[in-house]
Amino acid sequence: MTLLDNIPPGLLLILGAIVLLLLPATARKAGAIALAALGFFAISQLETGERLSPPFLGFDLTLLRVDATSKAFGYIFTLCAVAAFIFSWHEKRRAENTAALVYIGSALGVVFAGDMITWYVCWELMAIASTFLILARKTEKSLKAAQRYILVHLAGGLILLTGILLTVHQTGSIAFTEFPKGEIGSWLILIGILINAAAVPFSSWLPDAYPESTVMGGVILSAYTTKTAVYTLIRGFPGWEILVAVGCVMAIYGIIYALLENDMRRILAYSIINQVGFMVCGVGIGTELAIAGVVAHAFCHIIY
């Protein structure tokens, strides 16, 4: 066991993001790449299991839950971060790298969270940090898009929080595992997740906001919010048959609107909805092979 085996990888990126604010431009850019690479290395050192369980409000948190699924998403999240920071070396905005690192670190926090409190905190931090990536373009359109974006995600967060509170009240546990079918709390949690997955009819925020971000912001945003939602569906809702229908609608809706668009960034946005639809459909099928396919598809979709 190494020191890194007891440190959540997302925390490394979030704390590092704060330090980078104090550095000059070249050191800040190099530091962002180094932090993303350190995150990848830290994940490679993690041993399977659950640990870091401090008490909180009468519950035991689980800050670090490591298995094959969480490591797969962690690896591709950090690899994408390294590539994105290299790609954006020319960018001069000081706050953009910081917001991106907090956003990516929060996504890693969701991936390795073993309890619903940690998951929810990281989930909301993702929404806040990603809003700054849209604001970074500093245009009137990006400002309005960011306002609409954060309102949608705050509403989704409130729905998610309500579902979590109902589930904890019912089960007496904060464990982030499969949710019981047929319970109102589970349905509210599912809706909150599907908003982040850009599921129809909650999908308008994605083609509205992503094209208005900076180029770097577009690269970063396209990789994390929807894929983190897919990860949480894998954890909490495998085999929920309604997801097959939701995924099919997303796939058809996304490709139709992508074909009708003539703006490349909006085409990309609708294509994300299309591809995430296939992933959601796979989660709904819920077999071991289907889930493996979803993980592989998410991994490959982030790469290309």
Using the predicted structure, report yes or no on whether residue 151 has a pLDDT greater than 90: yes
Determine the average pLDDT of the residues in 168-183.
91
pLDDT reported for residue 219? 84
pLDDT band for position 22 (cuts 50, 70, 90): confident
| Per-residue confidence band for 126, with pLDDT thresholds at 50, 70 and 90 | very high
Cα-based torsion angle of the residue sequence 209, 85, 31, 214 in order, rounded to the nearest 10 degrees: -30
For residue 252, pLDDT over 60 is answered with yes
- Tell me which residue of 298, 303, 144 sits closest to 225, measured CA to CA: 298
Q: Would strands 55-56 and 59-60 be described as parallel, antiparallel, or unpaired?
A: antiparallel
pLDDT digits (tens, 9 = 90+) for 182-198: 899 999 999 999 999 99
The reported pLDDT for the residue numbered 56 is 87
Among the listed residues 300, 272, 299, 113, the one whose alpha carbon sits nearest the alpha carbon of residue 205:
272
Main-chain phi, psi angles of 66, to 5 degrees: -120, 125
Q: Share the mean pLDDT of the chain.
A: 91
Residue 212 has pLDDT above 70, yes or no: yes
pLDDT at 3: 64
Average pLDDT over residues 24-36: 89
Helices (H), 67-112: 68-87, 94-112
Could you give the 3-state DSSP secondary structure of residue 49? strand
Residue 57 has pLDDT above 60, yes or no: yes
Mean pLDDT of 207-223: 86
Q: How far apart are the first and last CA of the chain?
A: 34
Residue 1 pLDDT > 70, yes or no?
no
pTM of the predicted structure, to 2 decimals: 0.94
**Portion of the chain with pLDDT greater than 90, in percent:** 67
Domain residues of the chain, as ranges? 3-303
Phi-psi region of 58 (alpha: psi -120 to 50; beta: other; left: phi over 0): left
Average pLDDT over residues 89-102: 82
Of 173 and 88, the structure prediction assigns the larger pLDDT to 173
The region that residue 242 occupies, defined by phi over 0 for left and psi between -120 and 50 for alpha, beta otherwise, is: alpha
pLDDT at 149 (0 to 100):
93
Going by pLDDT thresholds of 50, 70 and 90, the confidence category of residue 220 is: confident
State the pLDDT at residue 7: 85
**Model pLDDT, residue 2:** 65
